[in-house]
Structure formats: structure tokens, C-alpha cells
Structure 1
Amino acid sequence: MSPIDAFWHFSNLFAPAWVLAGLLALFAKLLWRRELKALAWRRLATWGGVGGSLATLAALALLGRDGKMLGYALLLLGICLPQWWLAFRPK
């Protein structure tokens, strides 16, 4: 595998985590406009993307391969929990 192929392979592995994190951050900012006014969209998306990437790696380690429904459930949990914590934690 060439370096370009390896780059695209890993990019496609983590793309769902980062795209979903960005979309969730966007919709959260739209739905809870007043509550999330002080919180930057980029911060929500970044923490969601990191959580989703770690969840993807955990699913890969636990399940042995990508593409299982339990892996997608872990991905969603990994994206939602950091964003929820940033947005609605007790202050």
C-alpha cells in the first residue's frame, strides 16, 4: 500500500466520526441557541470528533473489524457524550 492509499484508508476510517461530530454540533447550536451561545461550534465539533475517533478505535480493538452495528453505536456514544458534557454540564 502506498502512502497515499494509507492516507485515504485512515481518512475514510475516521471520516464518519468527524462529519457526524460537525453535524451534531451544528444542530445543537441551532436547537439550543440561547443555552449554547457562549460555546464555540468548533469546540463542540472538535471534542465530538476526538471522542468519535477514540470510539472507532475502541470498536476496532473490541470487535476486530469496522462496520458492525455495535461499532456504530459506540461511535455515536463517543460523539454525543463529550458534546453533551461541554454543553449541559452543571456549572
Structure 2
Amino acid sequence: MDLLALFNHLLNFVAPAAFIALILVLAGRFLGGKRAGVQRWWVQWAVTFGAGVLVLVAGLVVSGRDGTMVTYAALVVVCGTVQWLAMRGWRR
């Protein structure tokens, strides 16, 4: 596998985490409004994306395969929880 193919595989591996993080941040901004003390959108995206990548790596290690439905379900739950914490959802 050459370097370009490796880069393509890595991008495709983290793409679900990037997409979920972006959708959650945009939805949080649209539905949550401005709140005091909430980080900027790109900080929220980076934290949610990082948590999502960790979930994808853990799913790969545990199941031995990439792209299992259990991993994607865990990705949605973890990213949603991280975004809820970032938006300070408990103060609502």
C-alpha cells in the first residue's frame, strides 16, 4: 500500500466521526442558541471529533473489524454526550 492509499484509508476511517461531530455542533448552535461559557464551534467540533475517533479505534480493537453497527451506535451515543456536555446541557 502506498502513502496515498494509506491516507485515503485513514480519511475514510475517521469520516463518520467528522460528519457526526459537524452535524452535532451545527445542530447545537441552531437549537441551543448562544450560551455563556460555551466554547467556539471549532473547539466543540475538535473535542467531539476526538472522542469519536477514540470510539472508532476502540471498536476496531474490540471487534477486529471496522464499521460494525455497534461501533457506529457507540459513536452516536458518545458524540451526543460530549456535545451535550460541551453545550452545558445540564443547565437547561
Per-residue deviation at 1:36?
6.5
Q: Unaligned stretches of 5+ in structure 1? A: none
In the TM superposition, 1:63-82 aligns within 5 A as 63-82=63-82
Contact 2:21/2:49, CA 8 A, preserved across alignment: yes
Normalised TM-score (structure 1) = 0.88
Larger RCO (CA under 8 A, 6+ residues apart)? 2
Contact 1:54/1:78, CA 8 A, preserved across alignment: no
Deviations 1:40-81 (A, max 9, x none): 111111111000000000111111101211010111123122
SS at match of 1:51: helix
Contact 1:29/1:36, CA 8 A, preserved across alignment: no
Contact 1:48/1:79, CA 8 A, preserved across alignment: yes
How far apart in 1 are the matches of 2:62 and 2:38? 37
Root-mean-square deviation (CA, aligned residues, Å) is 1.9
Distance 1:57 1:36, change over 3 A: farther
How far apart in 2 are the matches of 1:39 and 1:5? 35
Q: Unaligned stretches of 5+ in structure 2? A: none
Normalised TM-score (structure 2) = 0.87
Distance 1:84 1:5, change over 3 A: same
Divergent runs of 4+, >2 A: 34-39
How far apart in 1 are the matches of 2:28 and 2:88? 11
